[in-house]
């Protein structure tokens, strides 16, 4: 049975009863809960009924969270509030990050007939962006273009930088932007009183509030064009005179390279010497020189430029020694302290998570012994049982730091290990393949050099990258005699960089096999 109401008894849109609907899209750690509490305090202090709810995500920390607030003037008798936002029925949407703005638009929380969208333009990469082997960063420009169409009023600015610049956090600058937007019928002073009522971090929050208010009222100042990158400055190393002499000799050799590649060669040399020593830097320059000699000046030394970059990357592989070294460097501790805003009266507890496989342990052994164990399934299983489990090491403690520091100092031992021999053999085979395409297939040689980009990281990440590298080179052999062979190698490489599992790469290989087999 259905019941029809008379026309004058039809329910009306809650918006007509004065209810204001506000959604906050934030990521855990951005202070979305604090911002919601300020808005609640503000509304109630102005005599409004107010209700706030939240739907928390389940990712790292609290994940992506939707905070939802509804408020109505005090003279509205018994307003009925909803527990969650509905598509097409939100007056104000606040996004604490650019992709959160995109998420709000996709879910229909931003509409051109009513919604004020306030969003910070900075980026906090999502897990899906980080797991892409190549550049998985989503386009902020696409979100901005969609926002300009979707919102009735749009306020976009880097609220995070504005807050950090005055020693506060983004929730305060977003609250200021909400005040500056005029979307709520409250005076600025009422917003500021809501912050004071919280009682914590009042002065920094008020400074960030003022910054956000100003951005909403006046917009961001035009950014000055970024200055051209300065040429690499050669910093004289500290240490024994013998080492400084060796370093100066290496720099002198770079001066003899073509001008087009000197800067990249300096960067590569610095990375290689930092990884091992000046003798290792000599090996780098010798490998590079072979390709420089085979290069074509009329092509702008494109081959040598790519070689300077990727040979250095190949020679500075991430083994256990390298990882331990990087984790115990003073620069890392300073960076963490800056990011965490550690003050002199604070204590920082730092725990590193390590998960070595049997392959990493065997790779540390001398070449002959390592190969013997590597080829013995029983030994590999035994080593895997002993070592292949997660370990949490307190690197802020003397014991934990000393253990990693000693491991990171085993540079001289590295050259005797099985892992080093394996990396050298792989490097030599790769460069032999590159040289095999010269001089007739110059473009093919360049693309094979670029494929080294696929190999990075350590442990499982390195194994997956190596597998993709091998697949791309097998595909390259199928098209090496085609005029568009270099184009296909580039397509294979880009397909390999699109997803972690390699599904796109397998599809591209099947396409090649269909016409090259």
321-379 pLDDT, tens digit each: 999 999 999 999 999 988 887 888 888 899 999 888 899 999 999 999 999 999 999 99
pLDDT band (50, 70, 90) for residue 276: very high
Alpha carbon 493 to its chain centroid, in Å, reads 20
Distance CA 136, CA 125 (A): 9
Which of 360, 297, 370 lies closest to 323 in space, CA to CA?
Answer: 360
In CATH terms, is domain 14-218 a member of 2.30.38.10? no
- Write the pLDDT tens digit of every residue in 103-137: 999 999 999 999 999 999 998 776 666 667 777 77
Share the mean pLDDT of the chain.
88
Q: Which of 5-14, 212-221, 346-355, 419-428 has the highest mean pLDDT?
A: 419-428
pLDDT band at 227; cut points 50, 70, 90: low
Q: Which of 321, 322, 328, 460 is nearest to 394 (CA)?
A: 328
Predicted confidence (pLDDT) at residue 252 exceeds the cutoff of 70: yes
Predicted local confidence at residue 60, as pLDDT: 44
- How confident is the model over 32-70, as pLDDT tens digits? 889 999 999 999 999 999 999 987 764 444 467 899 999
Structure tokens at 293: 């000699």
Strand 351-354 with 391-394, pairing? antiparallel
Q: 52: which strand partners?
A: 69
* Intervals of CATH 3.40.920.10 along the chain: 14-218
pLDDT at site 389? 83
Higher pLDDT, 317 or 236: 317
- Could you report the per-residue pLDDT of 433-451, keeping only the tens digit for each? 999 999 999 999 999 999 9
pTM over 0.85: no
CA distance 289 to 211: 54
Burial, 112: exposed, middle or buried (Cβ in 10 Å; 0-12, 13-18, 19+)? Answer: exposed
Confidence of residue 9 (pLDDT cuts 50, 70, 90): very low
Structure confidence at residue 345 (pLDDT): 82
Whole-number CA gyration radius for the chain:
29
């Amino acid at each position: 049975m259905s019941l029809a109401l008379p026309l004058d008894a039809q329910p009306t849109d809650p918006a007509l009863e004065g209810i204001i609907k506000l959604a906050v899209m934030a990521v855990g750690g951005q202070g979305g809960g604090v911002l919601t509490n300020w808005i609640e305090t503000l509304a109630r202090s102005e005599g409004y009924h107010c209700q706030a709810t939240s739907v928390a995500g389940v990712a790292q920390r609290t994940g992506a969270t939707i905070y939802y607030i509804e408020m109505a003037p005090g003279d509205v008798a018994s307003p009925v509030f909803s527990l969650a936002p509905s598509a097409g029925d939100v007056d104000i949407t606040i996004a604490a990050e650019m992709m959160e703005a995109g998420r709000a638009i996709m879910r229909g929380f931003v509409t051109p007939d009513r919604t004020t969208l306030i969003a910070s333009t900075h980026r906090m990469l999502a897990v899906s962006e980080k797991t892409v082997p190549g550049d998985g960063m989503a386009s902020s420009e696409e979100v901005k273009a969609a926002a300009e169409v979707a919102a009735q009023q749009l306020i976009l600015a880097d609220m995070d930088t504005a807050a950090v610049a005055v020693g506060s956090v983004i929730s305060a600058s977003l609250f200021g932007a909400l005040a500056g937007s005029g979307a709520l019928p409250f005076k600025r002073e009422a917003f500021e009183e809501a912050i004071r009522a919280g009682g914590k971090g009042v002065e920094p929050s008020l400074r960030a509030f003022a910054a956000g208010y100003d951005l909403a009222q006046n917009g961001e100042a035009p950014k000055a064009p970024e200055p051209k990158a300065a040429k690499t400055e050669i910093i004289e190393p500290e240490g024994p005179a013998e080492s400084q002499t060796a370093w100066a000799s290496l720099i002198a050799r770079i001066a003899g390279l073509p001008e087009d590649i000197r800067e990249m060669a300096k960067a590569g040399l610095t990375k290689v010497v930092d990884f091992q020593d000046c003798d290792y830097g000599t090996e780098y320059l010798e490998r590079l020189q072979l390709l420089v000699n085979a290069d074509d000046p009329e092509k702008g030394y494109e081959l040598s430029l790519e070689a300077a970059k990727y040979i250095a990357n190949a020679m500075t592989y991430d083994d256990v020694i390298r990882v331990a070294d990087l984790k115990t460097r003073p620069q890392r501790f300073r960076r963490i302290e800056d990011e965490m805003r550690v003050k002199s009266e604070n204590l920082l507890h730092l725990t590193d998570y390590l998960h070595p496989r049997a392959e990493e342990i065997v790779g540390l052994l001398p070449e002959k012994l390592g190969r013997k164990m590597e080829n013995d399934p029983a030994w590999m299983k035994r080593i895997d049982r002993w070592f292949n489990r997660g370990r949490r090491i307190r690197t802020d403690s003397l014991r934990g730091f000393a253990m990693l520091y000693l491991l990171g100092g085993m540079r001289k031992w590295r050259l005797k290990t099985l892992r080093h021999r394996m990396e050298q053999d792989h490097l030599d085979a790769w460069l032999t393949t590159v040289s095999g395409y010269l001089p007739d297939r110059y473009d093919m040689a360049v693309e094979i050099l670029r494929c080294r980009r696929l190999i990075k990281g350590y442990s499982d990440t390195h194994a997956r990258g190596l597998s993709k590298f091998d697949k791309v080179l097998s595909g390259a052999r199928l098209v090496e005699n085609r005029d568009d062979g270099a184009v296909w190698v580039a397509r294979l490489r880009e397909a390999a960089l699109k997803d972690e599992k390699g599904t796109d790469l397998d599809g591209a290989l099947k396409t090649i096999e269909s016409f090259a087999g």
